[in-house]
Amino acid sequence: MAKKTSLPKNKKVAKGSEAAKKPIRRRRRRGNQEYSGVTPLLIMLITGLAFFKVELAMLVGAGMLPTFVMAFTVSGEHKSAKLQCVAFANLTGVLFKFNTVLSQPHLISDILFDPINILVMWGAAVLGHALIYLGPWVAAFFLQAVAQDKLKKLNAQKQGLVELWGHEVLGDKEEQQQQQQAPQSMR
C-alpha cells in the first residue's frame, strides 16, 4: 500500500520539476515592426493602370523601380516614413512624363529608353533619399531652438517658485551649493 501511495506522489514531483526546467514561452513583440501600405498601393496602381492603358503601367513600373527596390531592401526604424518619402518623390518624377504617355502611348519605348527621362524619374527618388538624409538634421536644429525656448520658460517658472517660497524650495542640494557659493563670493 505504501508503494502505491508513494508512486503518484513521485510522479507529481517529477512533473513539477520538469515544468520548472522548461523555459517559459514568450510571445515575440511585434510593436517595432512597421507595415507600409505603399508597395501594395503601387502594385494596385500599376495593375489598375494596366487595365486602363498598358503603357502607363509600364511607365510607372519602370519609373518607380527605385521605390520597389527600397520597399524590398529597407530596414530599421521609420522605414514606412522613409519609403513613403521616396515613393512620393519618385512618383513626382514619374508624373513628369505621365501626360505624354497618356496622350501618345506609342512613344512609351522612346520615353523609357531616353536616359534623360530615366534620370529625371530616378533622380526624383534620389531627391527623396536626400530629404530622408536632411530631415533629421533640420529637425534637430528646430528641436534645439524649441528646447531653448522651453528652457527659458522653465527658468522663469522656477524663479517664480523661489521668489514665493525662498531658496528652501530648491531642496538640500541646491541650498548647499548656494551656501557654498556665498562665502566664495565674499572672498
Partner 1 sequence: MSGEKTPVPSGQTAFGDRYVLNAKAPLVEFNSHGGLAFEVQDKEKPNVPLYGFVHHPTVPIRNEFYKSLKSRPIANAVNPVDRGLMNVDVKGRKQRLVTIFKRPTGGALLSPDGTLHPELNPNKLRHNVVLSLLKALAELHKRGLVHRYIAPTNMYFAEPGSDEVVLGESYSFPAGYKLPTGLEPLELAFADQSCRGEGDVNADFYQLGASLLCLYFGQDLLKNRSRDSLMMARINQGSYWALAGGQEMPGALGSLTKGLMADALDERWNAEDILDWFEGVGKPKRTTMTTWTMNKPTTFMGVAYVERRLLADAFGRNPLDAAKFLKSIDFPAWTQISLRDEIMTERLEKVINVKPEEGYGGPRSDDHFMVSRVCSFLHPTGPVYYKGMALNISGFPGLIAEYFSRDDRETMTSASEIFDAKILNSLTEIVAERNPNFAVQSVSIKKALDHGPSKQLGRGMERVLYELNPIMPCVSSRFESVWIGSLTQLMRALDRLSSVGGGKNILLDRHVAAFCAAHGTDLEREFNNLAASQSNPAKFNTLTADFFGLLQKRLKLEALPHLCEKLVDGLAPSIRELKNKKRREQVQTAVEKLKKSGDIAKLISDIKLTQTQALDAREFSQATNLVRKLEREKNRLMRKVLPTDIMARKRGYQAARMIAFFGLVTISFFTFFGGR
Residues binding partner 1 (CB under 8 A): 77-78, 81-82, 84-89, 91-92, 95-96, 98-99, 128, 131-132, 134-144, 147-148, 150-151, 154-155, 157-158, 161, 163-166, 168-171
For the chain, the distance separating the N- and C-terminal CA atoms, rounded to the nearest angstrom, is: 94
- Comparing CB distances to partner 1, the nearer of 44 and 139 is 139
Q: How far apart are CA 149 and CA 122, in angstroms?
A: 41
Cβ of residue 173: shortest distance to partner 1, in angstroms?
10
- Comparing CB distances to partner 1, the nearer of 107 and 131 is 131
Cβ of residue 93: shortest distance to partner 1, in angstroms?
9
- With contact defined as beta carbons under 8 Å apart, do 99 and 134 qualify? no
- Comparing CB distances to partner 1, the nearer of 110 and 149 is 149
Q: Would you state the cell numbers that stand for residue 117, as one nine-digit string?
A: 527621362
Cβ of residue 118: shortest distance to partner 1, in angstroms?
17
Cβ burial of 162 (10 Å; 0-12, 13-18, 19+) is: middle
- Comparing CB distances to partner 1, the nearer of 50 and 131 is 131
Q: How far apart are CA 170 and CA 11, in angstroms?
A: 64
